[in-house]
Structure 1
Amino acid sequence: MAGAKNWIEYSLDVELTRKQSRLLLGRLPKGSRARTEETELSRELLRKILVHADVKGRALFLFLASSGIRIGEALKLRLEDVNLNVDPPTVTVRGEYTKAGDTYITFISTEAREALEQWLRVRESYLESAANRGRGLGKTKHTVDPRVFPLSVGVAEQMWYTVIEKAGLNHKDPSTGRYKLHVHMLRKFFLSQAKLAVPENLVEAWAGHSGYLDEAYRRYSLDQMREYYKKAEPYLLINIPKDISQIQNKFQKDVDELRGQIADLTRKLTDANALTLKLMSENSELRGKLATLEKELAELKNIITKIIES
């Protein structure tokens, strides 16, 4: 049912009403619940896919791959929820958009920001065109839509299936008939790649997993989160040559190792300073004891001298 609904919405650029969706569901057979075999979504595959995406699809797919946001939540984001004027660009996912009702913060890559800026330049003309094409069909589309991506999930999914077909990657699982590459795998890509450079609990919090949010926000400040995301960003970039990516990753690892060495030397220096202060204190104490002994010895000599003379 979802595939047919998505195709209709994508082809006609409309959003079906709930009643229309229920009518469509009643006319289609129920699908299998078997687990679909998936193809691992690598950076190389994503690069091949994005070549065939239009400005809207490219912005959306890079946004999802670099932020870890669920597609349903991403399509509810308003323009004011995305701040492109900071580094890295910050996304606030409000509780009213999320499954568990929790607000969380995540980020997008510089690559995704560039694609998003290109999309925002043509977004208004897209809304006007979509409103004209969909007039009289499904829900009424308005030229004023506060969302960053004024699309339904069905349209977004059909955009994905279109580009993977153009890329020759539209393979289906023979047992379920479903695509081995689906748009939700962009979230999995983010999770696996970001964890190569950043603690797991922080990455899970960026992806909006409610079980990790409280701990992450107690442990890390927003500035610390930004710094960690910059470490993860090289692993999330798509359209860079592999050798440059490897150099970038190696450079980041070298920087991290150097920081570790500096921290170790600082600790050792602190320990050495503490030891020096301790030795100085002990030396001062010994000098005091020596002075006392010398004084007592002098007094003893005086007593012995007096005894001899008497």
Structure 2
Amino acid sequence: MRVPKIVRTHEKPLDKELLNRVLRNVSPKLQVVILVTTSSGLRIGELVQIKTSDIDFTSNPTKILVRGSTTKGKIARETFITQEATIALKDYLKSNFSWIENKPEFDVYIFGKTTNKGKKPKNSGHNPYAAKMALQASPLYYLRKVPALQTKNENGYYSIHFHAFRKFCRTTIGNVCGRDFAEALLGHAFYMDTYYQLSENQKRDLYLKAESRLTITKTDGSPE
């Protein structure tokens, strides 16, 4: 019995110009989410379970601990975000949670459910699945009135989605630092041994080499 070949379809890659257009047409919360995702390679299921205690803002670049309980392969790892994403994230935390830097007792889920004003609802527990589903639907919701940003891939799915943000990160880091480091940073189990053999300084230095390529906007906030 012959096994049918898998048909691989072409996906439109995201670039900085397109990402800038997306950022200009989405909510402040989604802007931060996109900057964090494109620079860290976090899966959306991991992103919605990140807490403030998982982030080391004293590190350069800013480091995020991805807890094993939240990952697809149940393996903990560390990833990083750019200075651009760091600034946006700090502003988001201050605006929506009255966050004070260097206050260790402050610990919240960062990208959980929020109200229409962006504030965290009172007396509501964190539901990762609900947060994930809400975020997954948000790009299409905000871009529905911008036909130029509603492009589709050959498979009929929209080209702007969370996995595409993750692919942008993988491709960008891979082009600068090599495939093994990029795949490991994104949590692909096959490459994790290579990742764990690197020292903390080596990981940071490799990421810093790619940081300018991962930065979506200029330091003054204008498109690159």
Q: TM-score range by the shorter chain?
A: 0.7 to 0.9
Match of 2:75 among 102, 125, 131: 102
Q: What's 1:187 paired with?
A: 166
CA distance in 1, matches of 2:33, 2:129: 11
* 1:234 equivalenced with 2:207 (yes/no): no
C-alpha RMSD of the superposition = 3.3
Q: What's 1:301 paired with?
A: none
CA distance in 2, matches of 1:238, 1:101: 30
Match of 1:217 among 181, 196, 211: 196
Q: What's 2:105 paired with?
A: none
Any conservation in 2 of the 1:127–1:142 contact (CA below 8 Å)? no
Residue identity (%): 29
- Provide, for residues 265-294 of structure 1, a one-character-per-residue CA deviation record: whole Å limited to 9, x for no partner: xxxxxxxxxxxxxxxxxxxxxxxxxxxxxx
Any conservation in 2 of the 1:170–1:181 contact (CA below 8 Å)? yes
- Which of the two has greater helix per residue? 1
Cα shift at 1:203 = 1.3
Q: What's 2:108 paired with?
A: none
Q: TM-score, normalised by structure 2?
A: 0.77
Within 5 A, what are the aligned runs for 1:56-135? 56-124=29-97, 130=115
Cα shift at 1:230 = 0.5
Within 5 A, what are the aligned runs for 1:1-310? 38-124=11-97, 130=115, 142-143=122-123, 152-167=131-146, 168-172=148-152, 176=156, 178-218=157-197, 220-240=198-218
Greater relative contact order (Cα < 8 A, sep 6+): 2
Where does the alignment leave 5 or more consecutive residues of structure 1 unmatched?
A: 1-33, 133-140, 247-310
Local SS of the residue matching 1:230? helix
Cα shift at 1:151 = 6.2
Q: TM-score, normalised by structure 1?
A: 0.57
Q: 1:129 to 1:226 in 2, by over 3 A?
A: closer
- Provide, for residues 81-123 of structure 1, a one-character-per-residue CA deviation record: whole Å limited to 9, x for no partner: 1112221000010110011110001100000011111111232
* Structure with bigger gyration radius: 1
Any conservation in 1 of the 2:20–2:223 contact (CA below 8 Å)? no
Local SS of the residue matching 2:192? helix
Cα shift at 1:173 = 5.2
CA distance in 2, matches of 1:66, 1:205: 14
Q: What's 1:10 paired with?
A: none
Which range is displaced more, 119-128 or 165-174? 119-128
Any conservation in 1 of the 2:55–2:62 contact (CA below 8 Å)? yes
Cα shift at 1:205 = 1.1
- Number of residue pairs the alignment of both structures matches: 201
Any conservation in 1 of the 2:112–2:131 contact (CA below 8 Å)? no
Paired AA for residue 88 in structure 1:
P
Local SS of the residue matching 1:196? helix
CA distance in 1, matches of 2:174, 2:113: 41
CA distance in 2, matches of 1:66, 1:154: 21
Where does the alignment leave 5 or more consecutive residues of structure 2 unmatched?
A: 1-6, 99-110
